[in-house]
């Protein structure tokens, strides 16, 4: 029984660490308000990387999907992306480009692109050819078809990819302190100033942040789903795919 | 502080390198060849973590999928719970588990298993759901019981999707296992982390992780080819 009490105690200490903080062994204040600085850096890195990744992969995925070319590239990029460990990717950037915000951000961009690109591509190619033909029959140009037909119908699955990437980038930003950027991973990687309590506290914040992101982007995903698709999605598997937004198989 | 420690480790570690390339943190093929033996133990540990986690993850997902297959109302709750486990960053999970399970393989494997559940479970369910209704009706018409139908018709037909899920889980697990050293379980990540500024080290350890992922992917693909010859006939 004593061990389970000790366990509760450690988690309790960690929660106090998050809200109040304490004085570190080096004499500075850690935890509490200092966590807000780390959180800000963490979010800044995540948003920057996701912004660049979306700006690259959404138009590219829409275009490749529209012309229905390069399916091998669009699909296999996510398989390759998955095989490269995030730690190896960041270490590679540190070893070759050095530390710094931009370098870590570029590594995270590379990490974020594959799921968004593949999901956008698959989403566009899954639009019924008949629908596209009707749009063309109504006199829409290629750009109009992409904007008014393919994009709205692709949105749910595309957002699934963005959600996957966002959660992944958020999780990987935790190891950014290896490259000199003090995100919420700082208490986890550079444990010396914070102690075990600080490390546990940071882990709890990172975990909560990931779940919050997943839920928030899930809500956005449902909000952007066209009403027509919602009506159609009565079967269980369809609902599951919309809610979790990742492709079932590839 | 940590940089200083690492610098000391580097100096000790590279004593047998010698060349100026090594001193410059460069990419030195000769150093890699001479020092390759230091990567074998982490590699073996990495393979061990990956295979054990995959085996446990697959067993749990398979049991959950069979359960959800006969009791459909379970699909939602199981998907949601495994989705939460999938969402939690593995690095955070290692340290959240630390007070409960301590440092070592157990903590790392629990985190890696919890991450693979959603991927495998969802693919098994998709595979089972995609079995054509006519095929099941034909099986029932031949007098198969539910159990026979599952093992002799539905599961074999779901194999491509099941193994596709296993492939995704395998590559993902290899990647996440690079972080397992934070839980005290070693692996290739420990080697990367030990000297993150040294190009030869990063490329070798990181490259081995990528190769391992590719190799596992290929092995499962070959197994799939052997087990499901009909898919190849249809594809060509």
What is the model's pTM? Answer: 0.82
Percent helix / strand / coil, chain A, rounded to 5: 80, 0, 20
Between A13 and B184, name the one with better pLDDT: B184
Tens digit of pLDDT for each residue in A210-245?
Answer: 999 999 998 998 888 887 776 555 444 444 444 444
A228, with CB counted inside 10 A (0-12, 13-18, 19+), is exposed
Task: Nearest by CB to A248, from B89, B122, B178: name it.
Answer: B122
Task: Nearest by CB to B161, from A86, A206, A249: name it.
Answer: A249
d(CA A96, CA A89): 11
Is residue B15's pLDDT more than 70?
no
Is residue B44's pLDDT more than 90?
yes
Tens digit of pLDDT for each residue in A8-48?
Answer: 677 777 777 777 777 766 667 776 777 888 899 999 999 99
Chain A interface test: which of B69, B92, B208 (most A C-beta within 10 Å): B92
Instruction: Report chain A residues whose CB lies below 8 A from the CB of B190.
Output: none
Q: Please give the ipTM for the structure prediction.
A: 0.79
Q: Please, which residues have CB within 8 angstroms of residue B61's CB and are 6 or more apart in sequence?
A: B116, B117, B120, B121, B124
Q: How far is B148 from chain A (nearest CA, A)?
A: 24
Is residue B47's pLDDT more than 60?
yes
Mean of the per-residue pLDDT values of chain A: 82
Strands (E) across B88-145 are located at: none
Determine the average pLDDT of the residues in B78-92. Answer: 91
**Coil vs helix vs strand at A29:** strand
DSSP H helices in B27-104: 29-34, 37-70, 75-87, 90-101
Q: What is the pLDDT of residue B233?
A: 67
Q: What percent of chain A clears pLDDT 70, i.e. is strictly above it? A: 85
Q: Do B175 and A83 touch (CB under 8 A)?
A: yes
Q: Do A207 and B89 touch (CB under 8 A)?
A: yes
Q: What is the pLDDT of residue A6?
A: 53
Tens digit of pLDDT for each residue in B195-204?
Answer: 888 888 888 9
Nearest 10 degrees: CA dihedral of A33, A34, A38, A44?
Answer: 50
Q: What is the pLDDT of residue A226?
A: 80
Q: Do A92 and B210 touch (CB under 8 A)?
A: no
Is residue A200's pLDDT more than 70?
yes
Chain A interface test: which of B4, B74, B95 (most A C-beta within 10 Å): B95
What is the pLDDT confidence band of residue A247, given thresholds at 50, 70 and 90?
very low
A95: nearest Cα among B203, B45, B235 = B203
What is the pLDDT confidence band of residue A99, given thresholds at 50, 70 and 90?
confident
How far are the Cα atoms of A211, B85, B211 from residue A185, in angstroms, in the given order?
A: 16, 19, 28
End-to-end distance of chain B based on CA atoms, in angstroms? 60
**Coil vs helix vs strand at B170:** helix
* Residue A77, CB-side half-sphere exposure with 13 Å CA sphere: 20
Q: Do A87 and B178 touch (CB under 8 A)?
A: yes
Which of left, alpha, beta for A245 (phi over 0: left; psi -120 to 50: alpha)?
left
Task: Nearest by CB to B87, from A167, A237, A240: name it.
Answer: A167
């Amino acid at each position: 029984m004593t061990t389970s009490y000790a366990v509760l105690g450690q988690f309790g200490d960690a929660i106090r660490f998050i809200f109040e903080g304490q004085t570190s062994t080096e004499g500075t204040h850690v935890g509490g308000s200092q966590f807000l600085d780390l959180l800000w850096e963490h979010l800044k890195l995540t948003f920057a990387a996701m912004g660049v990744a979306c700006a690259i992969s959404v138009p590219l995925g829409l275009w490749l999907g529209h012309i229905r070319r390069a399916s091998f590239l669009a699909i296999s990029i996510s398989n390759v992306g998955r095989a490269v460990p995030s730690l190896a990717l960041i270490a590679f950037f540190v070893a070759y480009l050095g530390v710094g915000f931009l370098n870590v951000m570029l590594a995270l961009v590379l990490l974020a692109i594959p799921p968004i690109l593949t999901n956008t591509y698959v989403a566009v190619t899954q639009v019924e050819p008949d629908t596209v033909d009707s749009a063309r029959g109504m006199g829409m140009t290629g750009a109009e078809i992409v904007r008014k037909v393919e994009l709205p119908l692709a949105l749910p699955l595309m957002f699934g990819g963005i959600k996957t990437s966002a959660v992944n980038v958020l999780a990987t930003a935790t190891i950014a302190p290896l490259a000199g950027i003090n995100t919420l991973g700082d208490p986890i990687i550079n444990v010396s100033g914070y102690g075990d309590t600080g490390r546990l506290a940071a882990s709890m914040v990172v975990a909560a942040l990931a779940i919050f992101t997943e839920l928030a982007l899930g809500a956005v995903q449902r909000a952007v789903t066209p009403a027509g698709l919602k009506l159609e999605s009565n079967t269980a598997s369809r609902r599951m795919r919309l809610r979790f937004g990742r492709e079932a198989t590839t | 502080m940590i940089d200083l420690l690492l610098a000391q480790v580097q100096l000790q570690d590279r004593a047998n390198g010698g060349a100026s390339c090594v001193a410059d943190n460069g990419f030195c093929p000769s150093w890699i060849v001479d020092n390759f033996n230091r990567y074998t133990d982490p590699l073996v540990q990495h393979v061990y973590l990956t295979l054990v986690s995959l085996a446990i993850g697959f067993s749990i997902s398979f049991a959950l999928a069979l359960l959800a297959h006969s009791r459909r109302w379970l699909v939602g709750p199981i998907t949601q719970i495994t989705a939460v486990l999938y969402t939690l960053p593995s690095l955070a999970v290692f340290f959240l588990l630390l007070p409960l399970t301590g440092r070592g393989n157990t903590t790392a494997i629990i985190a890696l298993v919890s991450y693979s559940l959603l991927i495998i479970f969802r693919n098994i369910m998709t595979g089972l759901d995609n079995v054509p209704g006519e095929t099941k009706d034909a099986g029932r018409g031949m007098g198969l019981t539910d159990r026979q139908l599952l093992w002799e018709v539905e599961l074999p037909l779901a194999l491509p999707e099941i193994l596709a899920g296993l492939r995704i889980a395998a590559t993902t697990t290899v990647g996440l296992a690079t972080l397992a050293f934070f839980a005290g379980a070693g692996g290739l990540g420990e080697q990367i982390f030990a000297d993150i500024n040294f190009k030869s080290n990063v490329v070798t350890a990181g490259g081995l992780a990528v190769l391992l992922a590719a190799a596992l992917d290929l092995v499962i693909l070959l197994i799939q080819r052997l087990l499901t010859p009909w898919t190849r006939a249809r594809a060509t």
